[in-house]
Amino acid sequence: MKDKFIQHFGGQVRFSSECKTHFHRLYHNTRDCSKPAYYKRCARLLTRLAMSPLCIHKQD
């Protein structure tokens, strides 16, 4: 249920290989992503992570 809810609010978000560790840390270890009342905040956090300079995949 959590995945569907987060996908609804955050859309389809893809993470680069450099960013997967940060994604898993946020997704599995934060209050925002572990309690249904905070899933909207979790979606916002994951979307911001995907757009951060750390996670933007540069193509050469």
Number of domains in the chain: 1
Answer whether 1's CB lies under 8 Å from 35's CB.
no
The helix (run of H) or strand (run of E) holding residue 19 is none
pLDDT of residue 59: 44
Q: 15-23: long-range contacts at Cβ-Cβ below 8 A with a sequence spacing of 24 or more?
A: 15/49, 15/50, 15/55, 16/55, 16/56, 16/57, 18/54, 18/55, 18/57, 19/49, 19/50, 19/54, 19/55, 22/49, 22/54, 22/55, 23/49
Look up residue 14 and give its two tokens: 């893809």
Domain interval for residue 1: 1-8+16-57
Predicted pLDDT at 60: 40
Report the predicted TM-score, pTM, of the whole model to 2 decimal places.
0.69
pLDDT given for residue 11 in this prediction: 61
pLDDT in tens, the chain (60 residues): 666 666 665 566 667 777 888 888 888 898 888 888 888 888 888 888 888 887 876 544
